[in-house]
Amino acid sequence: MREHGRTINASAALWVVRIDRGLTPAETVALEQWLARDVRHTGALARAQAAWVHADRAQVFLAARELRDSRSTRAWRAAMPWASAAAVLLCLATVFWAWQGYSQTHLATQVGEIRRVPLADGSHITLDTQSRVSVRYESATRLVRLESGEALFEVAKDPGRPFVVQAGNTRVRAVGTAFIVRRHSDVDVEVTVTEGTVDVWRETSAPEPAIRLAAGNRTLTTPLEIAQPQELTGAQLAGAVAWEGGVIDLNGRTLADAAAEFNRYNPQVVVISDPRLAAQTVVGRFQATNPLAFVTAAAAMLDARVRTDGNRLVLEPRPRVQK
């Protein structure tokens, strides 16, 4: 009789867990035999491994108390420094929002931290690494100032109270939609819309018309102008929102670019001094807080090597062997 798919999935899950803890030589042989027996076994194992890797994204739930039951309190305590900071911030936020009226709330993330915070009206702000916003809800407007970094805004519909994000002199107004605002410097601001439409304009001395930006489009405001909206491909859009899951999506970006991106999230700095190497493009998705995985993969792809130098991960060309 043919083995049932569910039975195979159960065996595959067990193998993945055993691989994770390290196989004994006898188990390695047993695994090979199991895989050779039926092509579905290989597929089921790949699928279970994919889920296992996918579950690493759960690291962003570090502070989620509900996921820990009473029996693992020790584990909970280990996560305390982190979790308590987040909890305090959230408490503060709640207290502030209870007042709502004219009070202002400040939210900030540390290096490598990504946090999604609910607002009183059902909207959500997801702060990327090293970002800071202040939120002020008034009776006629919902005002959010992006002081630094990058954030994703998911706005609850409220036509009577527009949601306005300020980033320098750039303004983005939405009614009910989702979009990302990123401050590249003090003056350059990038706006990417993932859902609905928003209006983008700059507060300047001479009044300026707003441009309308639809889902899947991006624009950059600079001191000179608001750039013509650019329609993003699916892959580009995926890359733009990847950070939200703690992932850096390197969709054909140069190594120099990629290193700069990782350095936003980590105290450990990726350095690529060789200009030819820095100009190479790479593809892949990486955990934002794991620069070592990135440089190791890049080294393997580009025939380079990794050198650790104090707090720096240096990626450099492999030295030529002298004949």
Partner 1 sequence: MPVISTERARWLAAHVLPLEPQLRGWLKRVTPSGLEVDDLIQEAYAKLVALATVSNITQPKAYVYQIVKRLISDHIRRANVVSIEAVAEAAQFSVLEEGMTPERILSGRQELERLYQAIARLPGPCRSVFVMRKIDGKPQKAIAAELRISENVVEKRMSRALRLILEELQASEGELEHGSSADRSERKDRRDA
Say whether 34 sits in a helix, a strand or coil. Answer: helix
Q: Which residues 115-154 are close enough to bind partner 1 by CB under 8 A?
A: 126
Q: How near is the Cβ of 143 to partner 1 at its closest, in Å?
A: 24
122 or 223: whose CB is closer to partner 1? 122
Q: How near is the Cβ of 242 to partner 1 at its closest, in Å?
A: 7
82 or 99: whose CB is closer to partner 1? 82
194 binds partner 1 (CB under 8 A): yes
Parallel, antiparallel or unpaired: strands 124-127 and 150-154: antiparallel
128 or 166: whose CB is closer to partner 1? 128
13 binds partner 1 (CB under 8 A): yes
Q: Which residues 274-313 are close enough to bind partner 1 by CB under 8 A?
A: 283-285, 297
Region of 165-173, 203-211, 233-241, 315-323 interacting with partner 1 (CB under 8 A): 233-241
**How many whole angstroms separate alpha carbon 202 and alpha carbon 209?**
9
85 binds partner 1 (CB under 8 A): no
Q: Which of 238, 232, 272 is nearest to 256 (CA)?
A: 272
CB distance 286 to 293 below 8 Å:
yes
92 or 301: whose CB is closer to partner 1? 301
**How many whole angstroms separate alpha carbon 293 and alpha carbon 291?**
5
Q: Is 36 exposed, middle or buried (0-12, 13-18, 19+ CB in 10 A)?
A: exposed
Q: Which of 35, 37, 57 is nearest to 46 (CA)?
A: 35
Say whether 154 sits in a helix, a strand or coil. Answer: strand
Q: Which residues 25-64 are close enough to bind partner 1 by CB under 8 A?
A: 31, 35, 39-62, 64
Region of 68-76, 138-146, 202-210, 262-270 interacting with partner 1 (CB under 8 A): 68-76
What Rg, from alpha-carbon coordinates, does the chain have?
24
Q: Which residues 147-176 are close enough to bind partner 1 by CB under 8 A?
A: none
CB distance 113 to 129 below 8 Å:
yes
